[in-house]
A and B are shown apart, each in its own frame.
Chain A
Amino acid sequence: MMMRQATPEERKKFYAEEWNKRDVPDFILHTLSLREFGFDLDGTGPSHRYFQFTTLEQLEDFMRHRAPYSAFASVALYERPSMREGWQKAELVFDIDAKDLPVKTCGCPKGQVCEKCLQEAKKVAMEFAETLRSDLGIRKINFVYSGRGFHIRVNDEAVMGLEQNERGQLVNYITGAVIPSDLTMALGYSKIFRERAARTLENLDEGAILNAVKAKQVAARLVAEKNNVLAAIRSGRMEQISGKGIGQTSISRLMETLARLNSEFTDGKVTIDTKRILRLPSSLHSGASMRCMVVKDMEKFSPDEAVPKFVREGR
């Protein structure tokens, strides 16, 4: 997958010909005048902040004339967005960036993105959303393709008033970042942790396992017994592997590493920041020459849908 930076001319072309105000999703549109907008006009960072648009036409006018490198809107709703004052509530957001996945099976280095990374990010986003629904009873969950990964954006009133600490705890829960006090329960957090830990271990290479347990022989055994270890984690019966030359300390070390890696599947900083600005769906991710867009059907979504016309024409 080729991702390249868009030129100023391509940005102008995109906002003149392709960008459509109707692509701004309803969850932004219905609260447009309550959000702070921020822009990166030339690729140096989003230093143009404190914008407020009371109508969609004002936003349209800005986008067409300035053709920003990046456009962002706050997850928070304010009484006075142009002063970032009078915080009312904020979307609950999870950022799954394909370039920052802690475990990759494609072999591409951290910081880079390939189609496989994007597929993995998509799978993670879907798992997280499922936990939000089934365990946490959260509704109004939107998926956004950010250009290099996925955003989960929740507009459920029940959670929009949550503050940093609670949001941080939600990250721990949905990622499986904490080893539960009981690994064996069939449902609840215990199950979430087991699933996430097994998924992480499945994709972990020998080097990473060695890094976790700090003993070559144990790491070799864990690799040789990987299927049994995975089965033990999935059932929560870790005693199944403790007799196979893998001691309790090594198991603890492994579990701690898995919990830590689990937590890195989303950028917790984004979730706990209730005043963050997030890439505007419909806008251009100029660093990747991809459209940031709402994804209606995650199962069927392919990043090809987000390729702008100027890239397709240039192929």
Chain B
Amino acid sequence: MLSKEYLAVLNPFSDEARKIVEASPALESLPAEIKELAVRRMKWSDKEALVQPDSQSVQAEVLSFYLMCQAIAAVSYPNSREVRFASDATRKTIRYRIYDMFRRGEEELCLEAVRRFVNVVELGSEEGKRLIGREIPRDDVYRIRDMGLQKDGVGTVDDRLLPQYLPKYAVRWVGLAPIMRQRRLELTDLYLLNGWAVITPRDLWHLHAEMLGVETEDYIQSVYERLADAGTPSPLLVDIGSKISSFVPKLPEFRERIGRGVAGRLRPEFFPPCVNISLSGVGSGARNYAVVMLLTPFLSHARAAPPPGAMRIADYITDVSAVTDEIAPLIFDAAERCNPSLFKDQPQEKANVFYHMGFGMTTEPRLGDSGRSKWYGVPNCTKVQMSAPSICKPDDFCRFIKSPLTYYFRKKAERGGAVQEAGK
């Protein structure tokens, strides 16, 4: 039986973990072992993530986690590759640990950790039956199991593995909102009854890890803001942060190669219908969406052609004129063509365009400012259709794609070659 303190290992934001942090020595006096651990933990393989059940190991685990987060905040910015890397590493670590604990019969401790975030009931309990209010049809139980197995690519199942795939718990779906916000969970993928999502143990541990990934990002952001207010961060944090940053994959070569398309001059002849409609100007109901939420990310991503997960446009263009002379004029012209003209009654939207490209609120972007705000991704077709149905007029090519950007790159790849050949 593990002590309550061990909850800190499954959730570094728990009260148990906070107590450890509050009782920790000053940053400079932390043992060298913890400083090393803060860097090393980013590269852990599964088994290395496991923590011995003694107080000293638990404390080292928690302190190194916080040191890692603070160090990253000292050398990067919210939405950076480093932050993404840290949150992914946290997800992986927590997921492995909680699976491991469950397998070793520590289900109660696992549930206690999860309950810090989201309300969980057991389906078989009286409370579970009362809250859900109806029987789950047996066939649905099997379908949920089969879908889980299929998703994980599990062909044969033994008695030890099977219980992980059978619906056993229910969680309030609203408690999962932070994960949905990051689009790491779709509501339509949940089996919902009376406000409760029916899930398997495997789903539960997965959701717990996802939640901690989100919390990690939020925490780094809050530290970043504090450090920005306070001035220069501690040299120790910068030193550790730089070490972490040095091995965060910049842009792995293979990702470059499988990137969605080739950067270069924009080719309007391959734009999807929604972008063409937006470029020709839209009415008052859809103009902000068309200009700021669709055209801005679309044109910037189409021009820069970053790989998935890219954070800063400055990493993919060498000169800011790509933004000021190629991308922005198209957006501004489209805004002018709106009825009524977008910038006439909402002049602040001009700065908002650059904000959505990651330059912060400015009308004079510089490459050095890239990363001040989030570089917004291109909405997928479902989102465009829902947010601005008037600009979603799919053509035949749309049928095969789910994002306006994929449309562009695929059409450019398929037909761009032909055009070039014909022009030879």
Contacts and interface: CB of A to CB of B under 8 A. Distances in A.
Contacts of B136: 187
A163 B187 contact: no
Interface in A181-207: 181-182, 184-189, 193
Interface string B242-264: 00000000000000000000000
Interface in B347-403: 382-383, 385-389, 394, 396, 399
A166 B399 contact: no
Contacts of A269: 285-286, 289, 386-388
Nearest to B135: A187
A171 B195 CA distance: 15
B193 A188 contact: yes
A29 interface: no
B285 A170 contact: no
Contacts of A166: 177, 180-181, 187
B337 to A, nearest CB: 19
A312 to B, nearest CB: 32
Contact of A268 (B182, B194, B387): B387
Given A165-B183, A166-B177, A272-B387, A177 B382 contact: yes
B192 interface: yes
A135 B174 contact: no
B158 interface: no
Contacts of B385: 177, 260, 263-264, 268
Given A169-B187, A186-B140, A187-B140, A136 B192 contact: yes
A172 B382 contact: yes
Interface string B175-198: 001001111001111111111101
A244 B137 CA distance: 31
B139 interface: yes
Nearest to A182: B143
Interface residues of B, number: 42
Given A169-B186, A169-B187, A188 B192 contact: yes
| Most chain B CB atoms below 10 A, which of A177, A188, A272 | A188
A136 B399 contact: no
Contacts of B194: 134-135, 137
Contact of B177 (A162, A182, A193): A162
Nearest to A161: B177
B147 interface: yes
Contacts of A161: 177
Contacts of A180: 188
Interface in B178-225: 180-183, 186-196, 198
B286 to A, nearest CB: 8
A99 interface: no
A167 B268 CA distance: 33
Contact of A135 (B144, B192, B394, B396): B192
Interface string B278-289: 000000111001
A112 B116 CA distance: 51
A138 B192 CA distance: 12
Contacts of A178: 186, 188, 382
A237 to B, nearest CB: 13
Contacts of A185: 137, 139-140, 143-144, 191
Contacts of B289: 269
Interface string A45-64: 10000000000000000000
B409 interface: no
10 contacts: A137-B173, A137-B194, A172-B188, A173-B192, A178-B188, A178-B382, A180-B188, A187-B191, A189-B192, A268-B385
Interface of B: 134, 136-137, 139-140, 143-144, 147, 172-174, 177, 180-183, 186-196, 198, 284-286, 289, 382-383, 385-389, 394, 396, 399
Given A172-B187, A186-B140, 5 more contacts: A135-B195, A161-B177, A169-B187, A182-B147, A263-B385
A-B pairs with the 8 shortest C-beta distances?
A137-B195, A268-B386, A169-B187, A188-B191, A186-B137, A135-B192, A178-B188, A137-B194
